[in-house]
Structure 1
């Protein structure tokens, strides 16, 4: 089933639509959550649920760990239903609110080393479609620019894939990010070499592939933008082609490119003796974060950060405490 075009049909359909509307009005993007709710809607139809009563049995059955499913995935499915249950209760409807979640062990984010970044983009640049179809070759050209844009500007995946050409000013080298997380808008300046790459890319799309899509990164069907699923899949494929994939404890994800951008930028400032405390507010706004603390959290997850921060910056000494051996 093509879940992207699926329309809610179960007895919960009107309430799910209201729930999504309320969440987005509050500033949440709620894309992956909508995808989970579509599967929940299908699940309710398959279970022949006729009344919009979120019973304990229904919630427990939905939240059962499936074969081959990761704990964190199951927890995410249950978490969305918990939020939906709270919404139903606020409307005066009966709903069981789940409270017990599968807990996955917290892992350290993979910050890509310079050699890993180089190997990854070599894999991206050498990619050739297995099938000789023009649309696939166009997509290959898109991947080369998409992943560089995410890495060089620290973009979220949703921000990059939803860019329109109207959002790009290639004369000034700027990008408008509209209605992002928290309904925030911001203006980003690109490095000159990235701006030039996008100018060339735009010309290739129009002149070579005759693609007149409004999207900067159109899908195979140009009226749509690339999906999260496609981007994640291609990232994993390209990473698997690097010599580091075999020896990596935790494989990176697309979002790791954003984390890497943040860490490398902060490292550079500290190595140059630039006070991190003064620069964090600017970086925070550039990334679309709520506060500098949210930005610093990225850095907090990196083991190497402890050594660099303690030797270079007073802010880190205040924000990252010593680790108690017995905790």
Structure 2
């Protein structure tokens, strides 16, 4: 009989063969395997799944982590139960602390400019230029930070104002079009990159490089970004999670939809366009913003009330 570790490894191979990205799932499941092995457990059971999902392993357990852990075990258990009847599939009712996405931090124009100015506090100078360009690109395009870190120099076509984003979070690729001012800043960064870095470093294919002359690590961006938040004087609002670099993406989506409302456009009809731009799997992922951000929900309610009042007035005339 295969061990639980072998079964999980086979499951991950199958997932990848089907075209799914499994990095995050693999980390969670291998953590679960280690937890089970330490207790002599070789099958998924509801009790051990719950014990692992609520255990503090390296980091404190919050609602989002609890939900991700339970979802990971449940995915594997559903597959494994067909092969091993002793496997238990944790029921949905076990997630009584089910994660609900918190309201993102929507940066004001003043805060974005403050972040850009705060990059001057970084050293060496090339790091400051790199972060200024990265923040500006994320704010102007709504790209994911991880996507920006994986953009290569060859993916950037400044003559046509386009960045090619390949093999994204859901295995999709897309084109992101740049405003002329963004093109100017990216072109300036490439010039500085060429002038300040040694020839061996310039050979790195990635657009953004760190102090070790290798590609920026998406998992380590938060360290520097927290320094910039402090330098920019952007506080954490009570009851909310701290502002994140990823929130620049949320800001782009929200400000785009607010602008559409202000211009009188049919936002519902335009959501698929924004969804495609952001690289979402479907418009439902983009529609989440209407519920997560009070300003958008308020605009949607106002639009609905206006439409209803016009309908009533027409019926009465």
Q: Normalised by the size of structure 1, how large is the TM-score?
A: 0.78
Cα offset for 1:303?
0.8
Report the CA distance shift for 1:59/1:274 in structure 2 as closer, same or farther (over 3 A).
closer
Matched-pair contact (CA < 8 Å) for 1:178–1:186: yes
Show the counterpart of 2:107: 112
Give the direction of change, closer, same or farther, for the CA distance of 1:37–1:269 in structure 2 (3 Å limit). same
Partner of 2:282: 291
Match of 2:187 among 189, 199, 203: 199
The yes-or-no answer on 1:183 pairing with 2:171 is yes
Alpha-carbon deviations, 1:180-226, whole Å to 9, x = none? 23322211111111122112212222220222211122355545x33
Q: Compared with structure 1, are the counterparts of its residues 33 and 145 closer, same or farther at alpha carbon in structure 2 (3 Å cutoff)?
A: farther
Change (3 A) 1:283 1:104: closer
Match of 1:265 in 2: 256
Question: Which residue pairs with 1:151 in the alignment?
Answer: 139
Is 1:275 matched with 2:269?
no
Q: 3-state SS of the aligned residue for 2:206?
A: coil
In the other structure, the counterpart of 1:54 is 44
Q: Which residue of 202, 207, 218 corresponds with 1:216? A: 207
Residue 231 of structure 1 is aligned with which of 221, 239, 249?
221
SS in 1 for 2:208: coil
- Which residue of structure 2 lines up, in the alignment, with residue 304 of structure 1? 295
Distance 1:162 1:286 in 2: 17
Distance of aligned partners of 1:281 and 1:70 in 2 relative to their CA distance in 1, 3 Å threshold: closer
1:241 equivalenced with 2:231 (yes/no): yes
How far, CA to CA, are the matches of 1:254 and 1:309 in structure 2? 27
Q: Could you tell me how far apart the structure 1 residues matched to 2:35 and 2:228 are?
A: 34
2:23 to 2, 23, 31: 31
TM-score (norm 2): 0.80
How many corresponding residue pairs?
A: 298
Is 1:121 aligned to 2:112, yes or no? no
Contact 1:128 1:137 in 2 (8 A): yes
Task: For residue 182 of structure 1, give the secondary structure of its aligned residue in structure 2.
Answer: coil
Q: Paired residue for 1:87?
A: 79
CA distance in 2, matches of 1:274, 1:294: 20
CA distance in 1, matches of 2:307, 2:8: 45
Gaps of 5+ in 2: 309-317
1:44: how far off? 4.6
* Aligned-CA RMSD value: 3.1
Indicate the SS of the match to 1:188: strand
Deviation readout 1:105-128 (Å, 9 max, x if unpaired): 6532222222222222222x2232
Cα offset, 1:316, TM superposition? 10
Q: CA deviation at 1:279?
A: 2.9
Structure 2 CA distance, aligned partners of 1:316 and 1:162? 44
CA distance, structure 2, for counterparts of residue 35 and residue 221 of structure 1: 26
For the pair shown, the structure with the greater C-alpha radius of gyration is 2
CA distance in 2, matches of 1:182, 1:117: 28
CA contact (8 A) 1:175 1:187 kept: yes
